[in-house]
Amino acid sequence: MSALTDPSEYWADLTRPEQGVLVFVVGFAALLLVGLLTGNLAPTYFLYLVGLAGMYSLLSFGLNSQWGFTGLINFSVAAFFGVGAYGAALVSADTSPIAGGFNPVVGLVVALGVAGVLAILIGVPTLRLRADYLAIASLGLAEVVRLVVLNERQWTNGSAGVRGIPSFFEGWPLLETFPSAMANLELALPGTQLVLGAAFWRGLLNVALVAAFVGVTYLVLKRVHRSPWGRVLRTIRSDEDLARALGKNTYSFKMQSFVLGSLIMALAGVFYAHLNLFVSPGDLDPVTTFYVWVAVILGGSGSNRGALFGGFVIVAIREGTRFLNEFDWIPVDVAPLRLLLIGVLIVALMRFRPEGILPPQRELIWPDAVDEAPSRPKSAVREVKGGGDDE
């Protein structure tokens, strides 16, 4: 039942929200394509946006594996993101105040290691706390991390930030010279002679990198979510006492989920450092945390597809509002408008659809279980769902 072999049946098998999201995604992609072809959207900027969207998706995956799977209210997303970004930057940048100039892969490993240690340090005290206390405590500790990054100038360069971060592929055999080699290539499209600069190819490499990160993370999380381990996490989310009564060490499971999510957030930070080539303490601002929260809740808590979708929507809001600056008839500054939009979105979601747009449904069921089930269940669920499309 693939989308390619039998599109109509694939369409009919989707739920209402899935159809809506599909239409939205296709429409949005078409809009971007039009922008790209008419020259309103520079290709390099487009690739940057895609990279940013991939980064937000990674952050959402990380938060989803904490909040969506296990129900941990982690408000320190920005701290782990920042630690990942700073870890990568300080190890690989040549202006690093500590020991720069290493291969970015070393930076990746170091950043993930530091983030893992930090996750354990934050997790040990806070994961025993009640849900709302965890929210406050994690936000407080994230602020502590931000203050340390801002003030320990001898390690982090303080508010000046770290510059001179190399691209992720520096030091790789073939890919290092790929952008500059491709820059001379002339593409003969019908009608026009197109030369794409080195920046474009560098952007393309970044998109490939983030696509790899997102793809691997998505597959791992999808598998993990359905596994016995994921089932325990889901049990903890809905009823921690029940999980404990079943003999599970819930604290240990919560810690594993917390560390897993934090590593994914740090991965997003590493990518950001090599995408932006500059990191500053401003990247640890708590507002990033709340952007990611909106992405996860919008997508549907617990749903990896939803987190992916939410990540893209957040970038659409964050960067899309920049275009509004060009319209003179909007009397207000755009920065608060973005904040207002995010705020209204949170309130509207909690009011009308607290479970999000794509709540996890069938993605939690093993495919085998569906195949072995009778195609026409007694309760006629399928008829109802199939009939719903004829409205």
Partner 1 sequence: MVLAEHLANGLIFSSIIVLGSIGLSLVYSIADFANFAHGDTMTVGAYSAFVAFGLVGGLGGSVLGLPFGFFVALLVGIAVAAVVAVVTEKVVYEPLDIDSIGLLITSIGVAFIYRALIQMRFGADFTRFGIQPLRPIEWLIPYGIRITKHDVAIVVSAAVLVGGLHLLLQHSDLGRKMRAMADNPDLARVSGIRTDRIKLWTWLIGAGLAGAGGVFLGLYNQLSPRMGFNLLLIIFAAVILGGIGSVYGAMLGGFLIGMINQLTPVLSELGALLPLVPDEFGIPVGIEYANAIAFVIMVAVLLVRPNGIAGEAT
The CB-of-241 to partner 1 minimum distance in angstroms stands at: 16
User: What is the full DSSP assignment across 29-87?
Assistant: HHHHHHHHHTTSS-HHHHHHHHHHHHHHHHHHHHHIIIIIHH------HHHHHHHHHHH
Q: Is 63 in the site for partner 1 (CB under 8 A)?
A: no
Q: How far apart are CA 136 and CA 146, in angstroms?
A: 15
Residue 87 and residue 94 in contact, taking contact as beta carbons nearer than 8 Å: no
Given the complex with partner 1, which of 18 and 285 has the nearer CB atom? Answer: 285
Is residue 136 a contact residue for partner 1 (CB under 8 A)? yes
Total residues at interface with partner 1 (CB under 8 A): 41
Angle at 276 between CA 274 and CA 278, to 5 degrees: 90
Q: Which stretch binds partner 1 (CB under 8 A): 34-42, 225-233, 257-265, 340-348?
A: 340-348
Residue 251 in 3-state DSSP? helix
Closest approach, Cβ 171 to partner 1, in A, equals 36
Residue 133 in contact with partner 1, rule: CB under 8 A? yes
User: Whose Cβ is closer to partner 1: residue 198's or residue 346's?
Assistant: 346
Quick one: which of 109, 346, 363, 385 contacts partner 1 (CB under 8 A)? 346
Distances (CA, A) of 117 to 56, 112, 163, 236, 262: 23, 9, 25, 24, 10
195 three-class SS:
strand
Q: Which helix (H) or strand (E) holds 23?
A: helix 16-37
Does residue 253 bind partner 1 (CB under 8 A)? no
CB-CB contact of 17 with 357 (8 Å): yes
Chain position carrying tokens 């694939």: 10
Told to check if 333 binds partner 1 by CB under 8 A, we report yes
The answer to whether 324 contacts partner 1 (rule: CB under 8 A) is no
The reply on whether position 81 binds partner 1 by CB under 8 A is no
Q: Which is nearer to partner 1, 126 or 304 (CB)?
A: 126
Nearer to partner 1, 77 or 267 (CB): 77
Task: Count other C-beta atoms under 10 Å from residue 192's C-beta.
Answer: 7
Mask for 160-199, x = binds partner 1 (CB under 8 A): ----------------------------------------
Only one residue has tokens 């793809």, namely: 215
CA atoms within 13 A on the CB side of 42: 8
Binder of partner 1 out of 132, 328, 368, 372 (CB under 8 A): 132
User: What b/e sequence results for 80-109 when a residue is b if at least 16 CB atoms lie within 10 Å of its CB, and e otherwise?
Assistant: bbbbbbbbbbbbbbeebbeebebebbebbb
Q: Applying CB under 8 A, which of residues 20, 27, 101, 354 lies at the interface with partner 1? A: 354
Q: Which of 139, 232, 264, 265 binds partner 1 (CB under 8 A)?
A: 139
Q: Tell me if 169 sits within 8 A of 176, measured CB to CB.
A: yes
Decide whether 130 or 378 has the Cβ nearer to partner 1. Answer: 130
Binding map of partner 1 across residues 265-294, x = CB under 8 A, - = no contact: -------------------------x--x-
Of the two residues 188 and 332, which places its CB atom closer to partner 1 in the complex?
332
Among 63, 88, 141, 205, binds partner 1 (CB under 8 A): 141
* Residue list 99-128, contact with partner 1 (CB under 8 A): 125-126, 128
CA-derived radius of gyration, the chain: 22
**Cβ 218 to partner 1 shortest distance, Å:** 24
Query: For binding to partner 1 (CB under 8 A), which residues are involved?
Result: 73, 125-126, 128-133, 135-137, 139-141, 143-144, 147-148, 150-151, 290, 293, 297, 332-333, 335-340, 342-347, 350-351, 354
